């Protein structure tokens, strides 16, 4: 189950955090992974990790907010079966305390960055690939009876957030961007059913990544552990997620086993959205 042998995957923001965990897991399952990140050194490091473990990977340095860079990047793909839009930035602030510069910065990466990759990546999926071409009975997105069996199609997973659907204090601009990601996911899923392209999104709660550690060091010097525990306990399960746990859900959604799933948002939040009463 969950094999990705001979599949071509592109993952943005894969130099660290959730994107890195996704890249490592998809490569371990047999996919040829392209690491896309603005930080060339981090991207190269992930490629080396994958190759050291016997996997296949390459890297592309790019700013996802630049359509020119993204278009040039995807133009070089011979095929594309899997696209994971994981690149993103965060910001703390209300509508009053969010500057125009910060609002624009979040929009450029979290919204326009996803759009740019969809704009450039979908045509590559349409002309070749076929992430579920071997399944003969799986309907739309997975076989000759209604999906990618003709050698076209693919799977897209967008990294959304619980902030798209749940009010979170001081996350005005970030929540705005993730609401847009959610809406883009539904639109793409609807528009490309006939091309055998599935599109879903994942909405994590807090995930323990290097970003969290950096945020605590910058904003709560000397109180990092205290604040880490406080943030962890906002999830009813009592802790933050691990990047590898998010990667596991991505793997399921891009695999043949999920060939009947499209146009869905998957909370992975330790009970935050349903149990935080």
Kindly report the average pLDDT of the chain as a whole number.
91
Q: Is the pLDDT of residue 114 over 60?
A: yes
Which of 174, 182, 192, 266 is catalytic? The answer is 174
CB 31 within 8 A of CB 7: yes
CATH number attached to the domain at 8-205+242-269: 3.40.50.720
Residue 115 designated active-site: no
What are the tens digits of pLDDT across the range 209-252? 988 898 888 888 999 999 999 999 999 999 999 999 999 999 99
- pTM score of the predicted model: 0.90
What are the tens digits of pLDDT across the range 43-81? 999 999 999 999 999 999 999 999 999 999 999 999 999
């Amino acid at each position: 189950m969950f094999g990705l042998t001979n599949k071509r995957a592109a993952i943005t923001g894969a130099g660290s955090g959730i994107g890195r965990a996704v890249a490592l897991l998809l490569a371990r399952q047999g996919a040829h992974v392209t690491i896309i990140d603005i930080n060339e050194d981090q991207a190269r490091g992930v490629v080396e990790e994958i190759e050291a473990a016997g996997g296949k990977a390459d890297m592309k340095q790019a700013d996802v907010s630049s359509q020119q860079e993204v278009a040039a990047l995807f133009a070089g793909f011979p095929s594309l079966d899997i696209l994971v839009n994981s690149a993103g930035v965060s910001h703390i602030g209300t509508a009053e305390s969010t500057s125009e510069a910060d609002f624009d910065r979040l929009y450029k990466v979290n919204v326009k960055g996803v759009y740019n990759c969809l704009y450039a990546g979908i045509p590559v999926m349409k002309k070749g690939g076929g992430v579920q071409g071997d399944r003969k009975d799986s309907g739309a997105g997975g076989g000759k009876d209604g999906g990618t069996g003709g050698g076209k199609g693919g799977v897209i997973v967008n990294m959304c957030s619980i902030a798209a659907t749940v009010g979170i204090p001081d996350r005005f601009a970030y929540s705005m961007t993730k609401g847009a990601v959610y809406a883009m996911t539904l639109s793409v899923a609807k528009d490309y059913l006939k091309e055998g392209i599935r599109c879903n999104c994942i909405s994590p709660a807090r995930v323990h990544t290097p970003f969290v550690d950096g945020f605590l060091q910058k904003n709560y010097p000397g109180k990092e552990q205290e604040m880490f525990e406080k943030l962890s306990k906002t999830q009813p399960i009592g802790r933050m997620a691990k990047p590898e746990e998010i990667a596991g859900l991505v793997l399921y959604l891009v695999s043949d086993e999920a060939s009947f799933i499209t146009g869905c948002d998957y909370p992975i939040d330790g009970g935050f959205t349903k149990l935080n009463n």
